[in-house]
Structure 1
Amino acid sequence: MAVLKAVGVITAAFLVIMLMGYWAAGRARPALDAAIRADLVKLGFAYTFVELGDGVVHYRLEGPAGGPLIVLVHGFSTPSFVWNDYFAPLTAEGYRVLAFDNYGRGFSDRPNTRYDADLSDRELDELLDKLAPGEPVHLVGYSMGGAVSTIFAARHPDRVRSLTLIAPAGLGVAAAQNAELLKRPLIGDWIVRMFGLKIFHAGAADQAKFSPNPARFLADFDRQMDYRGYGDALLSTLRHYPLAGAEAAYAEAGGSARPVMVVWGEADDTVPFINARKLMELMPRAKLYSYPKIGHEIGFSESPMLAGLIARFLDSQTPSTAGATPAAMRLEPRQPAGN
């Protein structure tokens, strides 16, 4: 009996230590507030902020007044700085360009809520209400941003003039080694709270190698982790966002005459290129460009090429053909490798 009591005391003490560590890790970093954001602007790390229904959102908007609006939607973990190299070439072509941080990322708020498709859809919808009321936009989504853009187009067809999807999620992602473990209640929360920032940093370091400026990429990525709630937001996204299973949204968006362009690296081991076959079945009007020996990093490693591709795609749309699919855009899609 004494032995059992001792074991019980030790177990209880261990649990208390774990809970205290979990709580302390969650409070170790400051929450984003107006003063911090003002400093980030002064330092040149941030641009503009707007208050929406679920919190404050950080965004960057540049380009000639009255130009058609391109909205750039980033992916799962890397915030809007991933689009930095797109602004100069696209604004030079006469477009206004908007990039923003999804909730939980970058310098946007990390609301204590469920990070699902409804939250991301609501954020984009409210942001456009503020910045481009009544104006149909060209949506460009990278990785999870491709799913965000497609779901938005399916739910708000009148707000989207065209879709450009770069290695889009929503139809399945590669199985991550610890993803299923992280989805489990309690243990996943504890792992992310205690070790998540190291895990996310390591993943970003691998991706940064493909950036034109790896040191800057990693520094920009890590800066968002200085503030409370980043890891919790990613964990909730992992548990609740449709990184797979969004076929209905793709079919709905693909059933429109709206122009769609898809860009994919054939060596993508995050959102496998094999998913392109399913996407082209669901969006038969889409125009597919694929590139061998390029992986999921295509969105930032090949930004000059992609910016030019986007500009040419959008320039081919005139006011008289914006709601249709011109013959010049009906190219035969390249089939995924191995088929």
Structure 2
Amino acid sequence: MAALKIGGAIITAVVLILTMSYWAAGRARPVLNAETRASLVKQGLAHSFIDLPGGTVHYRLEGPADGPLIVLIHGFSLPSFVWDDYFDPLTRAGFRVLAFDNYGRGFSDRPKGPYDADLTDNLLTELLDRLSVKKPVHLVGYSMGGAIATIFAARHPMQVASLTLIAPAGLGVGANRNMTLIKRPLIGDWIIRIFGLKIFHAAAAQEAKAAPNPAHFLTDFDRQMDYRGYGEALLSTMRHYPVTGSEQAYAEAGADPRPIMVIWGEADKTVPFTNAQTLMSLMPNAKLHSYPKVGHPIAYSEAPIVESLIEQFVESQIEAKPGANPPSLTVKTRAVEPAR
């Protein structure tokens, strides 16, 4: 009996320690609020903020007011700074450019969630409405942002003039054993709360190696983790967002006659390039540009190439006569055949 009592006391103590460490870790970082955001803007680290029904969203909008609007949508863990190198060339070309931080990322609010397709779709719908965007936009989505763009195009076909998908998720992602454990209730929450920021920093440090300025990239990435709720948002996304199984949305978006361009690195292990065959079968009118020896970071490791493709692609839609096919792009890239 004494041994049982001792064992019970030890278990109780362990549970108490784990609970207290979980609670303390959750309160170790400040929340994003109006004062914090004003300071970020003053330091030149943030751009503009807007209050939406789902929360406050950080966004950047530049370029001529009457220019065709290109909307840039980031992926799973990297916020909108991933598009920084795109603003100058695209706005100089006459485009209006919008990028924003999805909920839970960057300097946007971290609502409870769930972080599913409805949450991201509502954010984009409400943001365009509040910014009084009336004309169809040119959507560009990278990684999970590709799935966000595709689902938006499927649900709101009249609001999308063209789609550019860069290594898009939604049709499957690379195998990761750690994700299986992290997705489990309780244990996953504890791991993310206690070790999540170190895990995400380590992953970003690997991704940063492909950036033009790795140190600057990693500093920008880490800054969003200074505020409470980032890890929990990513965990909820892992559990609820359809990074696999979105074939129906791709088929619905692909059935529309709007122009679609796909850009992919053939060495991508995060969102495998083999998914391109499935995508091309679901979007038979898409134009695929692929690059050997380029991995998942293509949006920032090869930003000049990708930006140039986007610029040419969107210009081709504007210059095309109504009812005519857009002119071909004069770029030397490789393509894969649609799956049979």
TM-score, length-scaled by structure 2: 0.96
Aligned to 2:252: 252
C-alpha distance in 2, partners of 1:297/1:130? 31
* Partner residue in 2 for 1:313: 313
| Aligned pairs, number | 338
Amino acid at match of 2:61: L
User: Matched residues in 2 for 1:185 and 1:322: separation?
Assistant: 53
Task: Map residues 102-251 of structure 1 onto 2, 5 A cutoff.
Answer: 102-251=102-251
Give the C-alpha shift of residue 211 in structure 1.
0.5
- Code of the aligned partner of 1:6: I
Query: 1:74 — aligned with what?
Result: 74
The CA RMSD measured in Å over matched residues stands at 1.9
Mark the CA change 1:319 to 1:158 in structure 2 (over 3 Å): closer, same or farther.
Answer: farther
Which amino acid in 1 is paired with 2:336?
Q
1:189 deviates by: 0.2
Deviations 1:257-287 (A, max 9, x none): 0000000000001000000000000000000
Superposed displacement of residue 67, structure 1:
0.2
> How many Å separate the matches in 2 of 1:303 and 1:322?
31
Give the direction of change, closer, same or farther, for the CA distance of 1:73–1:321 in structure 2 (3 Å limit).
farther
| Letter in structure 2 aligned against 1:42 | K
Q: State the Cα deviation string for residues 30-64 of structure 1 (Å, max 9, x = none).
A: 00000000010011110000000110000000001
CA shift digits 1:232-253 (9 cap, x unpaired): 0000000000000000000000
**Structure 2 CA distance for aligned equivalents of residues 166 and 322 of structure 1:** 27
Matched with 2:65 is 65
Does residue 95 (structure 1) correspond to residue 95 (structure 2)? The answer is: yes
**Structure 2 CA distance for aligned equivalents of residues 112 and 99 of structure 1:** 23
Correspondence for 1:274:
274
8 Å CA contact 1:258–1:322 kept in 2: the answer is no
Tell me which residue corresponds to 2:17. Answer: 17
Question: Shift of the alpha carbon at 1:176?
Answer: 1.5
Q: What amino acid maps onto 1:186 in structure 2?
A: L
Shift of 1:206: 0.3
Match of 1:31 in 2: 31
1:152-185 deviation per Cα after TM superposition (whole angstroms, max 9, x unaligned)? 0000000100000000000000012300101100
Q: Does 1:335 align with 2:336?
A: yes
Q: Displacement of 1:65 after TM fit?
A: 1.4
> What is the TM-score when the length of structure 1 is the normalising length?
0.96
SS in 1 for 2:318: coil
The letter of the residue matching 2:94 is G
Matched residue type, 1:252: E
Q: What amino acid does structure 2 have at the position aligned with 1:220?
A: D
Q: Deviation of residue 134 (structure 1)?
A: 2.0
In structure 2, what is the Cα distance between the partners aligned to 1:25 and 1:54? 25
Matched, 1:285 2:285: yes
CA distance in 2, matches of 1:317, 1:336: 24
Distance 1:320 1:88 in 2: 24
What are structure 2's unaligned runs of at least 5 residues?
none
Q: Distance in 2 between matches of 1:323 and 1:52?
A: 37
Q: Kindly indicate whether the alpha-carbon contact (under 8 Å) linking 2:280 and 2:337 is maintained by their aligned counterparts in 1.
A: no
**Structure 1 segments of 4 or more deviating over 6 A?**
none
Give the whole-Å Cα distance in 2 for the aligned partners of 1:310 and 1:241.
26
Deviation, 1:132, is 3.6
The one-letter amino acid of 1:37's match is R
